[in-house]
C-alpha cells in the first residue's frame, strides 16, 4: 500500500531509545503519552512493506487489481517502497492512500522480528504476516486510548484507561508467539467499553439533546448544515453522505465510515476519535475545520 518512493528500509527504528529500546516498551511506572504517540505514526521507511504483502484486497473502486494475503503487491519494490506512490489515486489504488497501520508495520519489522525481513529470512514470512494485522489492531486501540486520555471530561475513567494503556503496551512489546496467542477480539471489547464511557462523558457536556446514530445506515444522507454536536456516530455508515457545513464538534466518530462523505466547510474541531484515515477517505475543502492533531488531506 502507500509507501515513500525510493526510501530504503533502515536497520533501526528512528523512534527507538537508548540501546534500541522502543519508547513504548520502557519499564516505568508511567507511560508518556507523547512517547506512545510517536510510536503510533507510520514510518514506512522502517517497515518491510507489510501492508503491501500481508493484507488481501479485492479489485474494486479502491484497488485496480486484487491480491490474496501473503502475496506481495506488484508495485512493491525490492527496497520495500512503492513504485507508484506518487500516483496511487491516478493508478486506481485510492484504498492505499486511506490505510493507516498506526505504526504497526515498523513495530513488527523492528521490534517483534528484530529487523529480520521476510525476503532475506523467508522463514519469518508466514508468522510475520499473521502478526501484522493483530499488531495493527492493538496499535489502533493504543491510539484511541491516548485520545480518550486527552479528554478532560473523561477524567473519571482515566485511571482505567491508563491501566489499559499499560496492558496494551506490554502486549505490543511481546513475542510473535504471545501476540498470536492473544485474543485480540476480547482485548478490543474490554478497551472499547472504556472508550464508550469516555466518549459518553465528553458528549454529555454538550447542552441539549444529542442525536444517537450509532451504527446507523446514513449512506448518501443529506445532512448539510446539520447540528451534530455531541452526536454518537460510532460505526455509522456515512459513505457519500452530504455533511457540508455540518457541526460535528464533540461527535463520537469512532469507526464511522466516511468514504466519499462531503465535509466541505464542516466543523470537526473536537470531534471524538476521528482518525487521519477517515479524513483521507472523505472529501473536504479549505474551509473544513480540523482537529489540531490531524492534517488536511492533499486531495482536498
9 three-class SS? coil
pLDDT band at 272; cut points 50, 70, 90 = very high
Range in 15-24, 182-191, 219-228 with the lowest mean pLDDT: 15-24
pLDDT band at 17; cut points 50, 70, 90 = very low
Q: Which domains does the chain have, with CATH numbers?
A: 18-201 (no CATH), 210-300 (2.160.20.80)
The Cα–Cα gap between 30 and 32 comes to 7
Q: What is the pLDDT of residues 42-78, one digit of tens each?
A: 999 999 999 999 999 999 999 999 999 999 999 999 9
3-state SS of 150-208? Answer: CCHHHHHHHHHHHHHHHHHHHHHCCCHHHHHCCCHHHHHHHHHHHHHHHHHHHHCCCCC
Q: What is the pLDDT of residues 230-247, one digit of tens each?
A: 999 999 999 999 999 999
Q: What is the pLDDT of residues 109-150, one digit of tens each?
A: 999 999 999 999 999 999 999 999 999 999 999 999 999 999
pLDDT band at 37; cut points 50, 70, 90 = confident
Contact of 216 with 196, CB cutoff 8 Å: no
The Cα–Cα gap between 168 and 188 comes to 10
240-278 residues labelled b (16+ CB within 10 A) or e (exposed): bbbbbbbbbbbbbbbbbbbbbbbbbbbbbebbbbbbbbb
Q: Which residues contact 39 (CB under 8 A, 6 or more apart)?
A: 15, 22, 23, 24, 103, 107, 139
Q: Is the pTM of this model over 0.85?
A: yes
Contact of 66 with 58, CB cutoff 8 Å: yes
What average pLDDT does the segment 262-275 reach? Answer: 97
Half-sphere exposure at residue 70, Cβ-oriented, CA atoms within 13 angstroms: 8
Half-sphere exposure at residue 256, Cβ-oriented, CA atoms within 13 angstroms: 33
Amino acid at each position: 500500500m502507500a509507501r515513500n518512493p525510493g526510501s530504503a528500509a533502515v536497520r533501526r527504528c528512528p523512534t527507538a531509545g537508548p540501546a534500541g529500546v522502543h519508547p513504548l516498551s520502557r519499564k516505568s511506572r508511567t507511560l508518556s503519552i507523547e512517547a506512545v504517540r510517536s510510536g503510533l505514526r507510520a514510518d514506512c521507511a522502517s517497515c518491510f512493506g507489510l501492508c503491501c504483502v500481508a493484507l488481501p484486497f479485492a479489485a474494486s473502486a479502491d484497488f485496480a487489481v486484487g491480491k490474496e494475503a501473503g502475496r506481495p503487491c506488484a508495485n512493491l519494490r525490492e527496497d520495500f517502497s512503492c513504485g507508484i506512490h506518487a500516483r496511487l489515486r491516478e493508478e486506481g489504488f485510492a484504498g492505499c492512500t486511506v490505510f493507516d497501520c498506526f505504526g504497526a508495520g515498523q513495530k513488527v519489522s523492528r521490534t517483534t522480528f528484530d529487523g529480520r525481513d521476510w525476503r532475506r529470512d523467508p522463514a519469518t514470512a508466514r508468522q510475520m504476516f499473521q502478526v501484522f494485522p493483530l499488531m495493527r489492531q492493538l496499535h489502533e486501540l493504543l491510539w484511541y486510548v491516548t485520545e480518550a486520555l486527552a479528554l478532560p471530561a473523561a477524567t473519571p475513567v482515566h485511571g482505567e484507561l491508563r491501566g489499559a494503556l499499560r496492558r496494551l503496551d506490554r502486549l505490543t512489546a511481546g513475542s510473535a508467539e504471545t501476540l498470536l496467542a492473544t485474543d485480540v477480539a476480547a482485548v478490543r471489547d474490554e478497551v472499547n467499553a472504556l472508550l464508550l464511557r469516555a466518549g459518553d462523558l465528553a458528549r454529555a457536556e454538550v447542552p441539549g439533546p444529542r442525536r444517537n446514530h450509532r451504527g446507523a445506515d446514513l449512506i448518501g444522507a443529506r445532512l448539510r448544515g446539520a447540528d451534530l454536536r455531541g452526536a454518537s456516530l460510532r460505526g455509522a455508515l456515512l459513505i457519500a453522505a452530504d455533511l457540508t457545513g455540518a457541526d460535528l464538534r464533540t461527535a463520537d466518530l469512532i469507526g464511522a465510515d466516511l468514504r466519499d462523505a462531503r465535509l466541505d466547510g464542516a466543523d470537526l474541531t473536537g470531534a471524538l476519535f476521528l482518525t487521519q484515515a477517515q479524513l483521507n477517505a472523505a472529501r473536504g475543502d479549505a474551509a473544513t475545520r480540523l482537529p489540531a492533531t490531524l492534517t488536511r488531506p492533499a486531495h482536498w
